[in-house]
Structure 1
Amino acid sequence: MPVLTVSVYEAVKAMVMDHVIQPGARVGIEAVSRSLGVSATPVREALARLESDGLVVKRSLSGYRATELLTRQGVEELFEMRLLLEPRAAALAAEHVGEAALDRIEAVVEEMQGLPDKGHSYAEYGRFAVLDQRFHDALAAASGRTMLAAAVERLHTHLHLFRLSPVSGGSPATVMEHGRILRAVLRRSPERASEAMREHLESSLRRHRDRYAEGGA
């Protein structure tokens, strides 16, 4: 993918994640092009990719709009789906993961451990969000179940949750919980891997519930 296309994609994604483009707002291709100093073509390519990420939606006649934020019910349903899929994926990964895949998962955990505390803008927490998603997607891929891995990836979980609130991700807790999952996979223990993933997801859901209790949207 051309460098310009990637940079425009990241720039527009940051606008959506940071609510510079408000949830539900129309995304004007010409306005975005002017603000970034680029032609309309890479903006259109970026929006097509963001549509596949679930961050914008294309509607006939009105063009692209930023998707609405997840509601509290939407968060509950998202975690309900994750709890059905990801503990099973972790258990299967403990059974089937190859050395190359294991090296990639370990590298993700190590990089997350070395990141500074994330801030409130996408520029500050973007790398953490990418690695968080990569960890879960890599584990699902290591399960050896193509449809299961595709289902986990299609949820685009971390983009939607970090868009709600970057501080609710709980960086130190998340990194620690990922480490527990990794250790269970390294021990080739499906039961421990499944349990560690379930505990991680339940803890993450509690953090998001706490955010709503504190007056979040």
Structure 2
Amino acid sequence: MPEPLRRSVLSDDVYDSLRSMVLEHQLAPEERVNIDALARSLDVSPTPVREALARLESDGLVRKRPLAGYTVAPLLTRGEFTDMFDMRLVLETAAARWAAGRATAAARVSLSEEASRSYVVSTSHEAFTAADARFHDLVASAAGNPLLREAIGRLHAHLHIHRLYFPYAQTGSTRLEHERIAAAIEAGEPDAAEAAMRAHLDAAQARHLAVFDQF
């Protein structure tokens, strides 16, 4: 029994390492992935690397083509990014509304605590996106619809593909917006929770779209 556990932990560690390499551009967009070279650099066999790449493919961070192997996913285009936020507006405003009416007392406390955490202003896109995704997942979980939660999680994975630029100086705005959402859910106010989520997503989209005007 212990051996499968150790293998699972190793697989998770390799997945986390490769995901970080993609998000921080150590593996560049559209770069071909060399499994053997990665295995040597991580001091593991090729098997956990292949397992991690399969998970990253499910996340949308790498792509696999017949006879060509894996390549890192390209950055989102402006149109793709806009389409993704249109979907987030549909799904996540509903999640916030339902969370305000359905969340347990414990879930409301967890949301408020998560929203109040300080977002460290740094050059780590991965660290911020992990914190941001954690809050949005808590909202989706509190909505009480597993299918909705899964759909929102997949959209957040695609958001990570837009990783060339992030307005780190504006992370404080994200915290304030999250706090407004959490407060409305904690108060059990569906209209306010939906409005706060919509305002947050509109502001987040505007912050990110600035990069497309630079190229």
For the criterion TM > 0.5, the same-fold answer is: yes
Deviation of 1:141 after TM superposition, in Å, equals 1.8
Deviation of 1:125 after TM superposition, in Å, equals 4.0
- Deviation digits for residues 93-128 of structure 1, max 9, x if unmatched? 0000012222332332233x2x42121xxxx34332
Pick one of 60, 82, 86 that aligns with 2:88.
82
SS in structure 1 at match of 2:74:
coil
The answer to whether the Cα contact below 8 Å between 2:23 and 2:126 also exists between their aligned partners in 1 is: no
Deviation of 1:170 after TM superposition, in Å, equals 2.9
Alignment pair present for 1:130 and 2:130: yes
Alignment pair present for 1:167 and 2:167: yes
Deviation of 1:134 after TM superposition, in Å, equals 1.3
Aligned-partner residue type, residue 9 of structure 2: V
Aligned to 2:121: 117
Pick one of 17, 39, 42 that aligns with 1:36.
42
Alignment pair present for 1:4 and 2:10: yes
The answer to whether the Cα contact below 8 Å between 2:116 and 2:175 also exists between their aligned partners in 1 is: no
What CA RMSD, in Å, does the superposition of the two structures yield over aligned residues?
A: 1.8
Aligned to 2:142: 142
Aligned to 1:190: 190
Deviation of 1:41 after TM superposition, in Å, equals 1.4
Aligned-partner residue type, residue 120 of structure 2: P
Counterpart CA distance in 1 for 2:158 and 2:110 is 20
SS in structure 1 at match of 2:67:
coil
Counterpart CA distance in 1 for 2:159 and 2:137 is 11
Deviation of 1:17 after TM superposition, in Å, equals 1.1
Report how many residues are paired: 208
Deviation of 1:158 after TM superposition, in Å, equals 4.1
Alignment pair present for 1:176 and 2:185: no
The answer to whether the Cα contact below 8 Å between 1:169 and 1:207 also exists between their aligned partners in 2 is: no
The answer to whether the Cα contact below 8 Å between 2:33 and 2:72 also exists between their aligned partners in 1 is: yes
Counterpart CA distance in 2 for 1:206 and 1:29 is 37
Pick one of 67, 72, 76 that aligns with 2:78.
72
- Deviation digits for residues 23-51 of structure 1, max 9, x if unmatched? 11211100111222221112112111111
Aligned to 1:58: 64
The answer to whether the Cα contact below 8 Å between 2:64 and 2:70 also exists between their aligned partners in 1 is: yes
The answer to whether the Cα contact below 8 Å between 1:168 and 1:207 also exists between their aligned partners in 2 is: no
Counterpart CA distance in 2 for 1:136 and 1:86 is 8
SS in structure 1 at match of 2:28:
coil
Counterpart CA distance in 1 for 2:209 and 2:140 is 25
The answer to whether the Cα contact below 8 Å between 1:174 and 1:200 also exists between their aligned partners in 2 is: yes
The answer to whether the Cα contact below 8 Å between 1:168 and 1:208 also exists between their aligned partners in 2 is: no
TM-score w.r.t. the length of structure 2 is: 0.89
Identity within the alignment, %: 40
